[in-house]
Chain A
Amino acid sequence: MIWQFDLILLTLVVIFALISLRVKDLMGASIVFGAYSFLMCLIWAGMGAVDVAFTEAAVGAGVSTVFMIATIYNTGRMIKPRPQDMSFKLLMMLVVVITGAFLLTAVNDFPEWGDPYSPVNDHVAAYYLTHSMSDTAVPNVVTSVLADYRSFDTMFETAVVFVALIGIYGIIRRRRKQDDSDSDTDALPPYDPSESLIIRQASRMMVPFMQIFALYVVAHGHHSPGGGFQGGVILGASLILYSMSYNLPTLFKKMTEKWIILLSAIGVLIFSGVGVICMMLGSNFLDYSVLSQILPATDSVMARSHAMLIVEIGVAFTVMCAMVGIYTSLASNGRFDKGL
């Protein structure tokens, strides 16, 4: 960590945050917000948290900006400020300032950044660092903590993504019969991407490479930053790019609404299924080591490593489908036929 870089990045983060709050055009605000996420990603990378930076770049700067744009497309682009909101905003600002000041009172009490003898580095993390290789044969400790030592958390994080998809889908999905009645009242503005030849050709070339890279990220998570979440987001982003450069019906020809929902459920099933198999083999839930009984040519340590790959694939399924499903729900305003 170089303090000059950090100073510049943190200053920019604050400036970008303020800009995205001030801009009246929501499209602009969400793009500035995406830039803010990207700066955060640089900060994480500078701190050595490369996996976090990866996720921030894929989710924060990438997909969530697209979600916001899809929402803006179906709602409205400009804020209409109301003067009576001002007093409320000032009150909230006071609350935020007080909370921030309270948080800052503890800063002096924190250990030095990067102190190897601080409690965080000394206690549980030290065990992970020294035992990850011998316990699980996975050199990327982040992956072994995420997908083995604390895999139960990760399983539920996957379930959270699944819940987000089912929730958004369930809330804004409209059935056909309703669709007919109000199709005139809030018809979408026409959007004809047929002229955008350059975008189409460029994305046609990019999508396959993105998907191959995503598969690499999923499969190589044991040895390098990445894993199911990041790979799944990139897979989802490639499909979103495909649908944006053509249109939604083109995407639905490749991947229907039904498969989006079913595959996302299957992803969680893969993860929890591995846990249940471990239980059936006579050990605790998600104790991968007993899988050596059914996986060919593995000892209990390699079984952990292989099982991590299986659950990462499950995570990638769910995350990919959730990204595509949330995007298509928002972009088509719940109709699943046309849209952005």
Chain B
Amino acid sequence: MSTQAPVLMIIAPLIASIFITLIGWFRPKFSHPIAVISLLISSIASIQVFQMVLSNGPQQYFLGNWPAPFGIEYVIDHLNSLLLVTISVVATLVALYAKRSVEKELPDKLANYYTLFVLLVTGLLGISITGDAFNLYVLLEIAALTSYALIAFAKGRSLMATFNYVMMGSIGACFYLLGVGYLFIKTGTLNMTNLSQILVSLHMSQAVLVGFVLIILGMWVKMAFFPVHGWLSNAYTYAPTASTCLIAPLMTKVSVYVMIRVMTSVFSTEYVFNHLSWHLVVVAMASVAILVGSMMALSQRDLKKCMTYLVVAEIGYMVGGAWLGNPAGMTGATYHIIADAAMTACLFMAVGCIIYKHGHTSLDTMKGIFRKMPLTMLGFVVGMLSMIGVPPTCGFFSKWYLISGAIEAGQWHFMLALLFSSLVNAIIFFRIIEIGFFGSLGSETPDPHEHQDVAVKEAPLSMVLPMLVVAGALIGIGIYTSDIISLVIQPLISATF
């Protein structure tokens, strides 16, 4: 069965989504177990594929047994194998975490919600695994449509936020499709490997340039890179808790992956950094993105919204690192995709626990939150330390590589922006410590019930446990950094530079 593992990882959630709709219509409470089981199958398959890549090098899978470039091909190499594991494992943990939160927030839509939930994971995995530029677009559509719906399920303010997201997301997807169209006109193929072979001789072509720019622009819109980041904050803030926990860590990261995939596998670093010489402009934009994201995060009075702006800043890290044009920057960017997926998952899961018990996340009302929800805040602290970049956590190592890449490229402003962002994260962290740890509980809330429960009032175990697992993973990834770099990222870097 292991030869079928690549496709099993994708179709397990797809078929589960159908059965969730069919069975969930009659028995909504079965929706959640089906979702979790299918995601577990996905995780196991992805780990199997990861091991195969580590031991035997890149793997191929031909769908419908049609050889590439005539059929669609799955290519799993070092760049995406670890990402696939991250996506499927984070999604499984979020699915476990989602049970109580979805039951509370959307009690009458369980079947619809989990149908879209597993389909979103299908889309994200499909984008990451495919070696076909158009297949990527189809899965991008699945991921986009499901995420619109998963956000809009919250009703209220989320509807307008989703509308903005739909507009921007559609523009991003259109740009990508147009770009692929331009490349298709010049090459006649959609297979990425085949594209890269043909494109080598087409470096001077204006159409290829336009195609490249369109694809990159489309992905920037999708990942909320600086000038087009406006949609992200509200969409993520007003979404249901479980949706934010799934979409915020994975969706933007997968877009970054697509950007790196197009830069390195479809085009080449030779084309991107030597032939087109405007990569340093992008690094400057990334610096601005980090500054803007951090400043906006600092000015928020709501924890969840603050976190969404940190996501904007983190996008700047990865785009900047990828466009620095040297191995260290690219190492940092690819490593940070994994690290940031885990960090954001951890933080948003902690925020979700607070919402579950507390109702909202306004900073002013969080006095004594550390005493009330010690485990949640433990996870939050680990996530935040990783965001700041404190050594045992993975956030330190990605920042290390990014900064050394910036120094190597002589991009001091990018280095300063990274340090500034760390500083801002530390300020936000200490502000929360100040309010939540030292602020006395209930001094401003006259509600007598609040006073009685000064002791622990923790979110349910099914929510806290997955979050703590992710928090543990942050430290775990940090400890195994050297293995990840040498086994996974080094082969990739040596192949591209």
Least Cβ–Cβ distance between A124 and chain B, in angstroms: 5
Which of B17, B148, B189 meets A167, CB within 8 Å? Answer: B148
Q: Please give, as numbers and ranges, the residues of chain B lying within 8 Å of A285 by CB-CB distance.
A: 4, 7, 11, 63-64
A160 to B14, CA, bound (A): 11
Chain B, 105-139, CB within 8 A of any chain A CB: 108-109, 112-113, 115-116, 119, 122, 126, 134-135, 138-139
Do the beta carbons of A111 and B185 come within 8 Å of each other? yes
Least Cβ–Cβ distance between B101 and chain A, in angstroms: 17
Do the beta carbons of B18 and A164 come within 8 Å of each other? no
Which of B116, B134, B185 meets A153, CB within 8 Å? Answer: B134
Complex interface bits, A172-195 against B, C-beta within 8 A gives 1, otherwise 0:
010100000000000000000000
A147 to B213, CA, bound (A): 31
Can you offer 15 A-B residue contacts whose CB atoms are under 8 A? A102-B210, A102-B213, A106-B211, A119-B198, A123-B187, A123-B188, A124-B70, A128-B70, A149-B70, A167-B149, A170-B112, A171-B153, A171-B159, A272-B18, A284-B4
Q: A157-B138, A265-B21 are in contact. Are A170 and B71 (CB under 8 A)?
A: no
A160 to B159, CA, bound (A): 20
Chain A, 259-278, CB within 8 A of any chain B CB: 261-262, 264-266, 268-269, 272, 275-276
- Of all chain A residues, the one with the shortest Cβ separation from B217 is A99
Q: Please give, as numbers and ranges, the residues of chain B lying within 8 Å of A125 by CB-CB distance.
A: 188
Which of B18, B108, B152, B207 meets A171, CB within 8 Å? Answer: B152
Most buried by B among A108, A151, A170: A170
Asked if B30 CB lies within 8 Å of chain A CBs, one says: no
Do the beta carbons of B138 and A170 come within 8 Å of each other? no
A234 to B15, CA, bound (A): 27
A279 to B17, CA, bound (A): 19
Q: A160-B141, A160-B142 are in contact. Are A166 and B21 (CB under 8 A)?
A: yes
A: contact size bracket: 35 or more
Give the number of A-B contacts (CB < 8 Å): 159
Do the beta carbons of A266 and B142 come within 8 Å of each other? no
Q: A127-B70, A284-B64 are in contact. Are A153 and B138 (CB under 8 A)?
A: yes
Stretch binding the partner chain, chosen from A4-12, A42-50, A71-79, A286-294: A286-294
Least Cβ–Cβ distance between B251 and chain A, in angstroms: 15
Q: A163-B142, A167-B145, A287-B64 are in contact. Are A265 and B11 (CB under 8 A)?
A: no
Query: Hey, which bits of chain B sit against chain A, CB under 8 A?
Result: 4, 7, 11, 14-15, 17-18, 21-22, 25, 61-66, 69-72, 108-109, 112-113, 115-116, 119, 122, 126, 134-135, 138-139, 141-142, 145-146, 148-149, 152-153, 159, 178, 182, 184-190, 198, 205-207, 209-211, 213
The dominant DSSP class at the A interface is: helix
Q: A124-B189, A148-B64, A150-B71 are in contact. Are A156 and B126 (CB under 8 A)?
A: yes
Most buried by B among A118, A168, A285, A287: A285
Least Cβ–Cβ distance between A113 and chain B, in angstroms: 11
Q: Please give, as numbers and ranges, the residues of chain B lying within 8 Å of A124 by CB-CB distance.
A: 69-70, 188-190
- Of all chain B residues, the one with the shortest Cβ separation from A280 is B4
Least Cβ–Cβ distance between A160 and chain B, in angstroms: 5
Q: A266-B22, A284-B64 are in contact. Are A109 and B15 (CB under 8 A)?
A: no
Do the beta carbons of A156 and B138 come within 8 Å of each other? yes
Do the beta carbons of B148 and A261 come within 8 Å of each other? no
11 additional A-B residue pairs with CB within 8 Å, beyond A106-B182, A110-B185, A153-B135: A120-B188, A123-B187, A125-B188, A153-B72, A163-B145, A171-B159, A264-B21, A265-B22, A276-B15, A284-B62, A285-B7
Do the beta carbons of B7 and A166 come within 8 Å of each other? no
Which of A105, A111, A149, A269 meets B64, CB within 8 Å? Answer: A149
Least Cβ–Cβ distance between B144 and chain A, in angstroms: 9
Do the beta carbons of A269 and B15 come within 8 Å of each other? yes
A173 to B25, CA, bound (A): 14
Asked if A152 CB lies within 8 Å of chain B CBs, one says: yes
Q: Please give, as numbers and ranges, the residues of chain B lying within 8 Å of A262 by CB-CB distance.
A: 21-22, 25
Most buried by A among B61, B65, B126, B205: B65
Q: A153-B72, A258-B25 are in contact. Are A175 and B108 (CB under 8 A)?
A: yes
Do the beta carbons of A268 and B11 come within 8 Å of each other? no
Q: Please give, as numbers and ranges, the residues of chain A lying within 8 Å of B122 by CB-CB distance.
A: 159
A157 to B62, CA, bound (A): 19
Q: Please give, as numbers and ranges, the residues of chain B lying within 8 Å of A128 by CB-CB distance.
A: 70
Q: Please give, as numbers and ranges, the residues of chain B lying within 8 Å of A279 by CB-CB distance.
A: 4, 7
